[in-house]
Structure formats: structure tokens, C-alpha cells
Chain A
Amino acid sequence: MSTVALDRLERAIGAVSAVPDPEIPVVSIADLGMVRAVRLAADGVIEVDLTPTYTGCPATERIGEEVGAAIEAAGFGTPRIRFLTSPAWTTDWITPEGRAALERYGIAPPPRRADPGTPVACPRCGGTDTEELSRFGSTPCKALWRCRTCREPFDRFKCL
């Protein structure tokens, strides 16, 4: 690939990666591990492969639109966007930066799947004396928890 093409591709990757999640705008879709590939096709069109987090997540469609808009705003024209179901998205793909951003925002990040027994720390006070109130929360990706130390309820990213 020529230097010019490489430069174009890098700018496209940057534009896609910066798109924030519509439901949790403190994390980008790259932080969430939703961006699977960005390619510069032979015909000069940018191709983006994304993976949905949950099949029914209403944000998925919006994310597709915003990625398209970001690529166009960066001067690349209309991209080809594909949503891939396989391999299925997992919370293990959330980056360390993404995890830290979620926690700062007040959402307890998910445990690694290999290590599901990790105590859930309250994102407000850091206490680990916490309990699940409901397996489901305000969006498909979250469950509702409560801290028994500071008594505050909080969202926790479900482990998937």
C-alpha cells in the first residue's frame, strides 16, 4: 500500500474509532470493541466492519449512521458498512481505556469472562459489598446493582 493510501486509511480508522456510543457517550465504539476492521477497498471506498453488542440494541442502527457520517465528514465519501454477527461480540473486547471510562462515568465495568467471580466494586465509593438488584437495566448491556456501603444504586455492564 502506498504512503498516501496508508495515510488515508489511518485517518479513516481515526474517524471511525472516535465515534461515541450513542447510549454511553463517554466511551467510543472502538473502546467498546465494536470496530472489527477498517479497509480501503480497491475502488477507493472505505469499508467498515462493525459488530453489534446485542442483537436488539436500538443503538446499532444509529451507530451505523454515525460511522457513515464520520467517514463522510473526514472527506472519504460514503463508506460500505457491514455488521458481523460472528465471532460474537464479548465484553472481553472492551479496552482498558473503555473500562476506566465506564467506571469514571458510574458504570461498573464487566468482569473478564475467564474470571467471573471478581467482586463488583461500587463505581462511586469503591466498596465491594455490593448486590444485584436486577439482571436487566436501562439498556440491553447493563444490569442494576446496589452498594451496601454507600447505599447508592449503580449500573453494571453485563458480562457477555
Chain B
Amino acid sequence: MTTIRVEETPHLAYVLRLADSALVLSHRLSEWCGHAPMLEEDLALTNIALDLLGQARLLYEHAATLEGKGRSGDDLAYLRDAPQFRNLLICELPRGDFAFTIVRQTFFSAFFHPFWQLARSSTDPTLAGIAEKAEKEVAYHLRHAGAWLVRLGDGTEESRRRTLEAVDALWPYTGEFFEVDEVGEAMIEAGIAPDPASLRPAFEDTLERLFAEADLPRPAPTWMQTGGLRGVHTEHLGHMLAVMQHLPRAYPGAVW
């Protein structure tokens, strides 16, 4: 029996949300290894994956400390089932084509750059420390994804068509960035988390600028799909975890 369940306090649940989002998106990006349209992009996407994996690792170690049951960060990453995952849905969607990957990375980074900037003043000193590193890394990811968004949107007919399709497919998942439930409320109250509502102007400004430069229409307001934060996932996460968790579950305690 290798599956674990975590008793989540609001603080622990919140850190797990951040950790799971970083890990799941990292895994999706790592799937590009050997498949990117060119070598430089293969390196870029896997480097971004590595940064997110590093952030996830620090966050899982923090979560394991908060839980205080002697579990490791790896236990939390590899031994929970899909309904226990707390990641944003946008992170778990299959990697799609290159335009899909770039649009997703643009949305994600446009939110998480101001998020980590504000989280530097979190009352949780470990989270504030992670934020200091993550903010710099995500700023770099945003520059990269944004430059590609402009090239694809303002590129060929096909690149533009694919980018528009990706925007349509992904925009309904951006509302979850701003969702605040009782866990979020408790964290904002305690000064541990920034209020996502305060991040909306920076998020909108970034997209405004990039979409204008890419000559793309801004996505229209629409119904937003949420659920990941409370463990209600798309069918894709379970398949992804089956691959990602296979080794530590099949060979408990395996080391390199």
C-alpha cells in the first residue's frame, strides 16, 4: 500500500496547491524533451521545467515540514492519488502543440510573476524565501514565452491560427488563478498569501501588452472552469500521474 493521504490544514493545503501546480506543469513541459520544434527550444522548455521542478521541490519540502509526520517532499509528490492533487487545472492539460504550450506558459507566468513578487513579503518566511528565487525565474520564463507569443501570433497564417485556437482553449482555465475559497481566505487573512484580486491589474497589463504586440484579439470574458484546487480534475491528470509516479510506486525506496 503505497498511496498516502494528507490531513490538510489550510496552510498545508495552500503550499500543496503551489507545489502541485509547479510539479504538474514542470512534467508537462518535460514531455517536450526530444520533441520541440528545434534544439534551442528543446533546451528552453526543459530548462523552464527544471526551474519549476526546483520550486516544486522546495515547496514540497516545506509542506512536509508543515505536515510534521516525517514524510519527505518526494512522498508528497509521488504517493498521493489524483483527487489529492491541488494543482490548477491549466497545468495538467496535455501538452498540445507548440502554440498551446507557449500560450499556457504565457498565462501561467503572467500570473505567477506578480504572485511571487508579492509573496516575497509573506508572513511565512520559508514561502517568502522561495518567492525570492521563484520571482526571478518566472520573470525569465515570461520574457521567453511572451517573445514566442508575439512571433506566433504575428507570424504565419498557420502559427496565428494555432495560437488563436490555443487561446480559446486555455482562457477558460485562467479564472482559477483568481479563485479564493476558504483556504485562500484564511491564507490572505494570515498574511501568508497575496490576495489574487490584487494581482489582476498586473496580469491584465502583461496580456494587454503582449496581445497587442502579437496582433491578437484579447480573449472575451467567458465561463471559467475550476476545480483543481479542491481535487476535481480533468481526466488527463490521472494518466499523467500514472507515468510520473510509476517508478517510485513500483520500486518503493528506489534511489539513483
Binding site for B on A (CB under 8 A): 52, 54-58, 84-89, 133-138, 140, 144, 158, 160
Please report the C-alpha to C-alpha distance between residue A144 and residue B40 in the assembled complex, in whole angstroms. 8
B129 touching A134, Cβ below 8 Å? no
A136 touching B144, Cβ below 8 Å? yes
A136 touching B47, Cβ below 8 Å? yes
Given contacts A56-B53, A86-B128, contact A140 B136 (CB under 8 A): no
B129 touching A55, Cβ below 8 Å? no
B51 touching A134, Cβ below 8 Å? no
Taking a contact as CB atoms closer than 8 A, the residue among A87, A135, A144 that contacts B132 in the complex is: A87
Nearest CB in chain A to that of B26: its residue: A56
Contacts of B44 in A (CB 8 A): 134-136
Taking a contact as CB atoms closer than 8 A, the residue among B51, B129, B137, B143 that contacts A86 in the complex is: B129
A137 touching B43, Cβ below 8 Å? yes
B130 touching A56, Cβ below 8 Å? no
B50 touching A140, Cβ below 8 Å? yes
Taking a contact as CB atoms closer than 8 A, the residue among A55, A138, A158 that contacts B134 in the complex is: A55
Interface residues on B, range: 20 to 34
Residue from the set A54, A84, A136, A158 with the largest chain B CB neighbour count within 10 Å: A136
B54 touching A54, Cβ below 8 Å? yes
B43 touching A160, Cβ below 8 Å? no
Nearest CB in chain A to that of B45: its residue: A136
Apart from A55-B51, A88-B132, A88-B135, 11 more pairs, CB < 8 Å: A54-B137, A55-B133, A56-B50, A57-B50, A89-B133, A134-B40, A134-B43, A134-B44, A136-B43, A138-B43, A144-B40
B40 touching A133, Cβ below 8 Å? yes
Nearest CB in chain B to that of A137: its residue: B43
Return 29 A-B CB contacts under 8 Å, by A number.
Answer: A52-B54, A54-B133, A55-B51, A55-B58, A55-B134, A55-B137, A56-B51, A56-B52, A57-B50, A58-B50, A85-B58, A85-B126, A85-B130, A85-B133, A86-B132, A87-B132, A88-B132, A88-B133, A88-B136, A134-B43, A135-B140, A135-B143, A135-B144, A136-B40, A136-B144, A137-B47, A138-B43, A140-B47, A160-B136
Hey, what's the 0/1 contact readout for B183-198 against A, CB within 8 Å counting as 1?
A: 0000000000000000
Contacts of A138 in B (CB 8 A): 43
Contacts of B47 in A (CB 8 A): 136-137, 140
Residue from the set B51, B54, B133 with the largest chain A CB neighbour count within 10 Å: B133
How far, in Å, is A151 (CB) from chain B's closest CB? 17
How far, in Å, is B40 (CB) from chain A's closest CB? 4
Please report the C-alpha to C-alpha distance between residue A37 and residue B159 in the assembled complex, in whole angstroms. 51
Contacts of A135 in B (CB 8 A): 44, 140, 143-144
How far, in Å, is A144 (CB) from chain B's closest CB? 7
Please report the C-alpha to C-alpha distance between residue A160 and residue B144 in the assembled complex, in whole angstroms. 15
Contacts of A89 in B (CB 8 A): 133
Taking a contact as CB atoms closer than 8 A, the residue among A52, A58, A144 that contacts B133 in the complex is: A52
Please report the C-alpha to C-alpha distance between residue A95 and residue B58 in the assembled complex, in whole angstroms. 27
How far, in Å, is B240 (CB) from chain A's closest CB? 19
Nearest CB in chain B to that of A141: its residue: B47
How far, in Å, is B79 (CB) from chain A's closest CB? 21
Contacts of A52 in B (CB 8 A): 54, 133
Within 8 A of A (CB), among B60-98: none
Nearest CB in chain B to that of A85: its residue: B129
B54 touching A57, Cβ below 8 Å? yes
Please report the C-alpha to C-alpha distance between residue A52 and residue B54 in the assembled complex, in whole angstroms. 10
How far, in Å, is B255 (CB) from chain A's closest CB? 12
For residue B230, CB closer than 8 A to chain A, the reply is no
Given contacts A134-B44, A135-B144, contact A56 B132 (CB under 8 A): no
How far, in Å, is A69 (CB) from chain B's closest CB? 18
Contacts of B52 in A (CB 8 A): 56
Taking a contact as CB atoms closer than 8 A, the residue among B40, B54, B125, B140 that contacts A55 in the complex is: B54
